[in-house]
A = this chain, B = another copy of it.
Amino acid sequence: MKVIKIGGKLIENQSTLNSVAKALAGLGDEPFVLVHGGGAMATALAGKLGVEQRMVEGRRITDAATLELAVMAYAGLANKRVVATLAALGKPACGLSGCDMGVVRSVRRPVGEIDWGFVGDVVEVRGDVIADLLDKGVSPVLSPITCSAEGELLNTNADSVAAAVAVAMADRVEIEAVMCLDKPGVLLDVEDPESVIPQIDKALYEELKNEGKIFSGMIPKLDNAFAMIASGVAAVRITDVAHLDGGTLIVK
């Protein structure tokens, strides 16, 4: 089964969202769980509301005003648009945030060198809730708003939510995590979209990395992929949304 993560850019407007939904509907009867971002919508909303955004290493520091707009953008507009668009294509879906049936519980990140504010780190995924929806033919669509045991909504990295969901579901069924980027896969030459490496195992990864052939931005994504595999996920695919069965397959 696929656990698919798509970034916020892909659902920013109805036209790109329609392409995403068609690609997902193209999976036919193959079940999937979707985890989406929504950063582009949140940033646009923050701009309109005049709420200054501070990013550290591409991640959003989430003060109270930013949490409110993140909940509105991710759990509200982005999530419901995705679900409604899938439904119109005959793919029944259920939009969930972490608070819903306690599906993704998190803890607020402790203040260290950086105070991230209302940012959560995942501690538990209710695989039974996800499995139950899938058994009914319903695709769970998860926003990256999670919830602490104390009922605090927390802004959470969508890649981390997808990874935690993939690992939790791997106890039940063979999981392929599909991380959709705006590139068709891991490229040997970052300028050449035709240079997709079809498959990478740990040995090849070390070799390519030592030779300096992996684009630096891709290294954390590949490290995350191997961490998922070490935690029981069968394979991780790095691809774009047009090639849900293509791109680069990362295996043990």
Contacts and interface: CB of A to CB of B under 8 A. Distances in A.
Interface residues of A, number: 39
B72 A147 contact: no
Counting from the closest, the 6 A-B pairs by CB-CB distance are: A76-B76, A88-B151, A72-B72, A72-B76, A84-B99, A84-B151
A97 interface: yes
A39 to B, nearest CB: 15
Contact of A101 (B76, B92, B97, B149): B92
Interface of A: 45, 48-49, 68, 71-77, 79-81, 83-89, 92-97, 99-102, 138, 145, 147, 149-153
A224 to B, nearest CB: 27
13 contacts: A71-B80, A73-B76, A76-B77, A81-B153, A84-B99, A86-B151, A88-B151, A88-B152, A93-B100, A94-B96, A94-B100, A95-B99, A95-B100
Contacts of A45: 72
A87 B72 contact: no
Given A49-B48, A95-B100, A153 B84 contact: yes
Nearest to A45: B72
Contacts of A150: 88
A237 to B, nearest CB: 27
Nearest to A76: B76
Contacts of A153: 80-81, 84
Nearest to A88: B151
A151 B84 CA distance: 5
A152 B84 contact: yes
B101 A147 contact: no
A102 B49 CA distance: 32
Nearest to A68: B77
